[in-house]
């Protein structure tokens, strides 16, 4: 058995999709886990300073979380996420993230960076996790046990998501307020934008306060998302993009939602194209109002609130008249 | 069918030859101008990368001239280029412009896929015609790449500023007009003779700067604000990292037959980047290292703004620059980039490199030795093959 180590997991990027997996895995190995605090101004400022100016907001926020954790842990857990699903990629920046951090010019602890590439088969994620743990000195049987537990945890997390709870509700053990409006809104966007309350300026809670029920892409069963995403003329090779397109396609046909709010970060490569396709589709169908909110480190809360309120008022008037 | 295609450097020369040989009418879009960029930017997604916007501009201008079919390449990600055609199709359709899109998807390890795309173009042409068209296009590409390489050496040493650029334009036309493989080689010889006539200052103290980065910004002068010319006229010999013929060879031919060998790139970049990141991100790192070790004075990194692979590269390059002791300057280009801004930064970079060289910086000691052997014209041309 190795001595107790502390591993830092940043509360950013795909934390909202995979934290239960990673937490259970390392906890079962007896590793102490330090999660960075929810994003705040200081974290953002750190990230903006450390990252290249051309990087998108979520990547800058990630840098900030890493630097916040740097003094407190022995290792940082920054997986090299290449693909979470056969035939797709995540985003080039995720693929280079461990290297970008290693060479960012700040003093940070060693990075544990398993390469997660589902293009190399179903077992690729497992192999990389086990290997990463073994390199730290854990024995194979223990790591296998931890992996099984972790997968079970992730499966039950997915189940809860599909039951209609948001990642933050589950991770922070919260209950959303009871909706007072009969309308449901679709909140589209990458999890690290819509569920990070600092980055999204509390968007989801603002919708709750207006009485809406909110659905997010995570709540649809993956099979359905895949089916809807397959309607595109060409196989879309970004997994997060597929999630957005699949969800939007599904709800645009369902007609059960009163509006779509799409949140993108400025300069997001995949979203610059995926978002464009979505917006054009929504406009053509014309029966669902569509609001596009673009976020970056300079976005002012006032502007965002004004646009959101105008949008929500418009939805309400539509249903009155 | 009237076929058009997006501009990228002198790609239009081999493409025009290829389609004409197949008996297809070709509409080459007007050269990229401020109008093209404005048109493209107006109708494209706000933070799409610059090539997508300019492609749109090309297509709109070509449609005005009567084009009805677009031929372009596809891709399999994660770089955005692989989804360009689908988005562009939507944009054009919403504008009420109906252009057929023939997208040549890169064969994922199978030559049949590529040929199927080609076949839809050349339904009436037999295999011999297709082969001939391919051979002619390939000959033009090879010849132009070689002459372009010579151009960089000569421009840095020309006595009359602008004479190389003027000659280069004549050469482009000569090769463009050649209608058989033999005529291409004759045009190339003529071109070389024109180059030989340019008066040089062989003893000029020339700096060598490598260009790395994303292929479109490297190859399209209208996008990189003619950085090759600007540098050349400052007395800098440009070493270009991407040539179209190499790109076609590795990505279409070798890749199809599973012969592609990127081992060297991966090996060089390994201490800095442990994975490919799409586009040319990995090559940017490995080539910068290679250039530093070959004794170049500096490296200029070009990319479109918001380009994902190059953002990864840009994040890592400062460390490479320190470790390998080579100055690196990055330009992220978009529709707002202007020549004056680039020029100012290039001049500052030039001064930095010159000072370093005068101080006998270690990288340059190697190079000065190298240069003493390339004073005569013949050896200048020979030295082209060194990199």
Predicted confidence at residue B120, as pLDDT, reads 72
Where, residue-wise, is CATH 3.40.50.11900 in chain A?
Answer: 167-320
**A92–B312: do the CB atoms touch at under 8 Å?**
yes
**A90–B78: do the CB atoms touch at under 8 Å?**
yes
Which of B225, B237, B220, B208 minimizes the C-alpha distance to B150? B237
Q: H or E stretch including A271?
A: helix A269-285
Q: What is the ipTM of this complex?
A: 0.92
Residue B254 touches partner A, C-beta closer than 8 Å: no
Predicted confidence at residue A3, as pLDDT, reads 62
Q: Identify the sign of the CA torsion B135, B138, B142, B148.
A: positive
How many residue pairs bridge chain A and chain B with CB atoms within 8 Å of each other?
Answer: 126
Name residues 73-112 of chain B within 8 A of A (Cβ).
74, 76-80, 82-87, 89-91, 94, 103
Residue pointed to by tokens 């999660």: A35
Report the SS3 class of residue A292: strand
Contact list, A98 vs chain B (CB under 8 Å): 274
A217-270 pLDDT, tens per residue? 999 999 999 999 998 888 899 999 999 999 999 998 888 899 999 999 998 999
Predicted confidence at residue B233, as pLDDT, reads 94
Along chain B (387 residues), what's the average pLDDT of each consecutive run of 10 residues?
93 94 93 95 91 96 95 85 91 92 70 65 78 93 94 95 95 95 96 95 91 94 93 95 83 64 84 90 94 94 94 96 95 89 94 91 47 33 34
Residue B30 touches partner A, C-beta closer than 8 Å: no
Closest residue in chain A to residue B75, using alpha carbons only: A237
Residue of B43, B93, B272, B277 to mutate for A, most A C-beta atoms under 10 A: B277
pLDDT grade, residue A184 (50/70/90)? very high
CB A158, CB A164: distance < 8 Å: no
Predicted confidence at residue B113, as pLDDT, reads 59
Sheet arrangement for strand A75-77: A32-35, A6-9, A75-77, A110-112
CB B383, CB B367: distance < 8 Å: no
Give A35's Cβ-side CA count (13 Å radius): 16
Residue of A82, A124, A236, A269 to mutate for B, most B C-beta atoms under 10 A: A269
Closest residue in chain B to residue A106, using alpha carbons only: B319
**A266–B315: do the CB atoms touch at under 8 Å?**
no
Q: What is the DSSP letter of B9?
A: G
CB A278, CB A124: distance < 8 Å: no
As a whole number of Å, the end-to-end CA separation of chain B is 42
**A104–B315: do the CB atoms touch at under 8 Å?**
yes
Which of A249, A208, A207, A251 minimizes the C-alpha distance to A231? A249
C-alpha to C-alpha distance for A125 and A150, rounded to whole angstroms: 12
CB A132, CB A122: distance < 8 Å: no
Least confident of A120-124, A166-170, B113-117, B182-186: B113-117
Find the CB nearest A237 among B77, B85, B90. Answer: B77
C-alpha to C-alpha distance for A148 and B94, rounded to whole angstroms: 50
CB A98, CB A78: distance < 8 Å: yes
Which of A238, A312, A309, A232 minimizes the C-alpha distance to A278? A232
List residues in chain A touching B: CB distance below 8 A.
51-52, 54-55, 80, 82, 88-93, 95-96, 98-100, 103-105, 113, 115, 232-234, 236-238, 266-270, 272-273, 275-277, 280, 294
Closest residue in chain A to residue B278, using alpha carbons only: A92
A174-183 pLDDT, tens per residue? 998 899 988 9
Residue B66 touches partner A, C-beta closer than 8 Å: no
Contact list, B281 vs chain A (CB under 8 Å): 92, 96
Find the CB nearest B47 among A95, A99, A267. Answer: A267
Predicted confidence at residue B376, as pLDDT, reads 32
CATH number of A6-162: 3.40.50
- Number of Cβ within 10 Å of residue A283's Cβ equals 11
Show Cβ contacts of residue B120 under 8 Å, excluding neighbours closer than 6 positions. B102
C-alpha to C-alpha distance for A105 and A312, rounded to whole angstroms: 45
**The CATH number fitting domain A167-320, selected from 3.40.50.11900, 3.90.1640.30, 3.40.109.10, 3.20.80.10:** 3.40.50.11900
**A280–B90: do the CB atoms touch at under 8 Å?**
yes
**B76–A237: do the CB atoms touch at under 8 Å?**
yes
A110 preceded by a cis bond (ω within 30 of 0)? no
Which of B168, B280, B287 minimizes the C-alpha distance to B221? B168
Report the SS3 class of residue A43: helix
Report the SS3 class of residue B340: helix
Q: Tell me how far CA of residue B225 lies from CA of B29, B222, B235, B336, in angstroms.
A: 19, 5, 17, 11
Radius of gyration of chain B from its Cα atoms, rounded to whole angstroms:
21
The C-alpha angle with vertex B4 and arms to B1 and B8, in degrees rounded to 5, equals 160
Predicted confidence at residue B252, as pLDDT, reads 67
C-alpha to C-alpha distance for A262 and A253, rounded to whole angstroms: 17
Q: What is the mean pLDDT of residues A3-21?
A: 92
C-alpha to C-alpha distance for B60 and B37, rounded to whole angstroms: 11
Joined together, the tokens standing for residue B113 give 């896929």
């Amino acid at each position: 058995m190795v001595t107790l180590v502390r591993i830092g997991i940043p509360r950013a990027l795909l934390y909202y999709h995979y934290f239960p997996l990673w937490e259970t895995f390392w906890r079962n190995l007896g590793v102490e886990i330090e999660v960075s605090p929810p994003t705040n101004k200081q974290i953002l400022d750190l990230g903006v300073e450390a990252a290249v100016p051309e990087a998108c907001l979520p990547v800058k926020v990630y840098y900030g979380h890493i630097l916040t954790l740097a003094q407190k842990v022995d290792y940082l857990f920054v997986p090299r996420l290449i693909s979470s699903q056969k035939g797709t990629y995540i985003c080039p920046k995720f693929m280079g993230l461990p290297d970008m951090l290693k060479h960012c010019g700040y003093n940070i602890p060693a990075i544990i960076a398993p390469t997660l590439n589902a293009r190399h088969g179903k077992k690729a994620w497992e192999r990389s996790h086990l290997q990463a743990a073994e390199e730290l000195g854990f024995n194979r049987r223990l790591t296998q046990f931890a992996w099984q537990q972790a997968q079970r945890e992730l499966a039950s997390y997915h189940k809860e998501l599909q039951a209609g709870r948001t990642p933050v509700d589950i991770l922070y053990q919260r209950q959303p307020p009871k909706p007072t409006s009969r309308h449901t809104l679709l909140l589209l966007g990458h999890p690290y934008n819509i569920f990070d309350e600092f980055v999204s300026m509390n968007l989801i809670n603002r919708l709750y306060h207006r009485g809406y029920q909110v659905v997010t892409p995570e709540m649809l069963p993956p099979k359905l998302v895949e089916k809807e995403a397959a309607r595109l003329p060409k196989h879309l090779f970004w997994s997060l993009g597929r999630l957005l397109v699949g969800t939007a396609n599904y709800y645009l046909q369902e007609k059960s939602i009163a509006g779509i709010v799409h949140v993108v970060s400025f300069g997001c490569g995949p979203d610059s194209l995926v978002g464009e396709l979505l917006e054009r589709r929504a406009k053509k169908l014309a029966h669902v109002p569509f609001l596009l909110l673009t976020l970056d480190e300079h976005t002012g809360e006032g502007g965002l609130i004004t646009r959101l309120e105008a949008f929500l008022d418009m939805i309400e008037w539509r249903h009155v008249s | 069918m009237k076929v058009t295609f997006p501009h990228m450097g002198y790609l239009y020369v081999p493409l025009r030859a290829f389609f004409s040989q197949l008996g297809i009418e070709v509409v080459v879009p007007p050269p990229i101008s401020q109008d093209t960029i404005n048109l493209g930017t107006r109708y494209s997604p706000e933070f799409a990368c610059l090539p997508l916007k300019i492609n749109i501009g090309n297509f709109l201008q070509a449609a005005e001239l009567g084009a009805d079919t677009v031929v372009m390449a596809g891709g399999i990600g994660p770089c955005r280029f692989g989804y360009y055609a689908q988005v562009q199709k939507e944009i054009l359709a919403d504008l009420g412009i109906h252009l057929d899109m023939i997208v040549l998807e890169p064969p994922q390890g199978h030559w049949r896929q590529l040929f199927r795309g080609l076949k839809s173009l050349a339904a009436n042409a037999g295999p011999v015609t297709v082969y001939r068209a391919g051979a002619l296009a390939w000959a033009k590409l090879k010849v132009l790449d070689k002459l372009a390489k010579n151009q960089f050496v000569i421009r840095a040493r020309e006595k009359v500023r602008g004479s190389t650029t003027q000659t280069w334009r004549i050469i482009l036309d000569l090769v463009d007009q050649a209608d058989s493989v033999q005529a291409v080689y004759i045009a190339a010889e003529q071109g070389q003779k024109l180059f030989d006539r340019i008066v040089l200052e062989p003893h000029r103290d020339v700096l060598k700067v490598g260009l790395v980065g994303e292929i479109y910004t490297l190859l399209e002068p209208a996008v990189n604000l003619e950085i090759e010319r600007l540098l050349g006229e400052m007395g800098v010999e440009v070493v270009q990292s991407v040539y179209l013929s190499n790109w076609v060879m590795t990505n279409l031919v070798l890749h199809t037959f599973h012969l592609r060998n990127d081992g060297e790139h991966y090996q060089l970049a390994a201490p800095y980047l442990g994975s490919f990141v799409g586009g040319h991100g990995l090559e940017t790192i490995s080539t910068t290292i290679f250039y530093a070790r070959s004794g170049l004075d500096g490296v200029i990194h070009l990319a479109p703004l918001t380009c994902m692979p190059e953002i990864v590269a840009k994040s890592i390059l400062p460390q490479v620059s320190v470790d390998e002791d080579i100055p690196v300057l990055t330009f992220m280009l978009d529709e707002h980039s202007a020549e004056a801004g680039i020029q100012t930064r290039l001049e500052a970079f030039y001064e930095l490199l010159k000072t370093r060289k005068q101080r006998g910086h270690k990288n340059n000691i190697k190079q000065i030795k190298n240069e003493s052997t390339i004073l005569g014209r013949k050896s200048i041309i020979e030295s082209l093959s060194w990199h």
